[in-house]
Amino acid sequence: MKEKQRIGILTSGGDCPGLNAAIRGVVRASYNLFEPEIIGIADGYRGLIEGDYKEMHEDDFRGILTLGGTILGTSRRPYRAMRVIEEDNVDKVENMKKNYRKMGLDCLVTLGGNGTHKTANLLSEEGLNVIGLPKTIDNDIWATDITFGFHTAFEIGTDVIDRIHTTANSHGRVMVIEIMGNKAGWLSLYSGLGGGADVILLPEIPYDPDEVIKAVERRTKKSQRNFAIIVVAEGAFSKEEAKMKRKERLALRAQSNYPSVAYQVADLIVSQTGLDTRVVNPGHYLRGGSPSAYDRVLASQFGTYAAHLIHEENYGQTVAMINGKVGHNSLKEVAGKTKFVDPNCDLVRSALDLGISFGVKKVK
């Protein structure tokens, strides 16, 4: 290994709590293990494509453990467009390689979710030394038990449901709470369980509208004040919609008058039961603010592990929690896969035992 290692760091995709803690982990451990030179790349792959970066020093990374968001900035640069030359005539992949060389990097550390990992793998296959770190509130990255950011969002989601519970009870209302999670329902499942939801609708278990109504009626009859709490994942859909291709389904949704799925479910409830119903969508609130203590520790552990991978020159890997132990998987193995909720997993079984409905007669 060369005495000095030039490390480029970028954060890409939706932000989440714990990104700064992870960056700090990479930087601090690097200073401990070897002599690093750190280049902060602005706004994820945008900065790498456009050559927007700056040299950073140890002091730049102080006081950021508890800070939400990302000090490097982030943006969404879809993987599917990476190899497409658009109107600006920019060859994004070539530019990224060129800028990597221009910065004189020995390694690029990419902190991000599924899309980020796909591009990280592409760059690795193009010959760059890349190390990934799994962040997302969605917890849907393949082959890691958990991603940082998830725990904080799950705490916030649970708090939102708790607060909605008390007002639902006061007014005797059905409250439909939409929780982020476009493809995977982990955040809805955990927050719904944590907050004591009556119904949880997940993308992995397409719901039957009749069963949702039955569950709401069962619940409201049981409570003296006619209230029920429904948690709907952002990407949930009905059994009918499940027969369509994802693209068709999304196009149909876009044409409807519903701003999002929670409004569709609320409309169903009002039209079938006449119950007083409201929608709450915490949206980006779920991923804002300071990371939980758990996420600070997890992100720090992942960050320091990444520094060891750099030290060993073990590139083309992404850090992971594997059966409770910090380790790594190859970017190749992880890229392009999504970790979905298995309808037969223990957590879903436990929710069913608690009397929570998933809006179906039987979870298969």
Footprint of ligand F6P on this chain (CB under 6 A)?
14, 76, 113, 136-138, 180-182, 234, 287
Closest listed residue to residue 132, CA positions, set 108, 115, 156, 153: 108
Q: Regarding beta strands 317-322 and 325-330, do their DSSP bridges make them parallel or antiparallel, or are they unpaired?
A: antiparallel
Q: Are 147 and 136 in contact (CB under 8 A)?
A: yes
Smaller CB distance to ligand F6P: residue 17 or 25? 17
Q: How many helices (H) and strands (E) does the chain have?
A: 13, 11
> What 3-state DSSP class applies to 18?
coil
- Residue with Cβ nearer ligand F6P (13 or 316): 13
Minimum separation from the CB atom of position 1 to ligand F6P (A): 35
Backbone angles phi, psi at 22, to 5 degrees: -70, -40
The single residue of 15, 106, 138, 295 carrying the catalytic annotation is 138
Q: Which is nearer to ligand F6P, 25 or 181 (CB)?
A: 181
Dihedral of alpha carbons 333, 338, 342, 348, sign: positive
Q: Which residues are 38's β-sheet partners?
A: 7, 56
In the complex, least distance from residue 181 CB atom to ligand F6P, rounded to whole angstroms: 5
Q: How many residues does the chain have?
A: 364
In the bound state with ligand F6P, the residue whose beta carbon lies nearer, of 39 and 280, is 280
Tokens for 288, please give them.
């804002």
| Structure tokens given for 72 | 């490097």
Decide if 130 contacts 331 (C-beta within 8 A).
yes
Closer to ligand F6P by CB, 153 or 212: give it: 153
Helix axes 293-311, 150-171, angle to 10 degrees: 160
Smallest separation, CB 246 to ligand F6P (Å) = 14
Q: Is 346 a catalytic residue?
A: no
Strand partners, 159: none
Q: In angstroms, what is the minimal distance from the CB of 149 to ligand F6P?
A: 8
Tell me how far, at minimum, the Cβ of 2 lies from ligand F6P, in Å: 36
User: What does residue 357 show for φ and ψ, rounded to 5 degrees?
Assistant: -95, 140
Nearer to ligand F6P, 176 or 216 (CB): 176
In the complex, least distance from residue 294 CB atom to ligand F6P, rounded to whole angstroms? 18
CB closer to ligand F6P, 244 vs 285:
285
User: How crowded is residue 289: how many other Cβ atoms within 10 Å of its Cβ?
Assistant: 15
Q: Least separation, in Å, of the C-beta of 54 and ligand F6P?
A: 25
What are the φ/ψ torsions at residue 242 (nearest 5 degrees)?
A: -65, -20
Q: How many CB atoms lie within 10 A of CB 61?
A: 21
Q: Helix, strand or coil for residue 175?
A: strand
3-class state of residue 275 by DSSP: coil
Contact by Cβ (8 Å): 6, 287: no
User: Cβ distance 75 to 42 under 8 Å?
Assistant: no
Comparison of 136 and 191: residue with beta carbon closer to ligand F6P: 136
Phi, psi of 351 (to 5 degrees): -60, -40
Residues annotated as catalytic (active site), given as ranges = 138
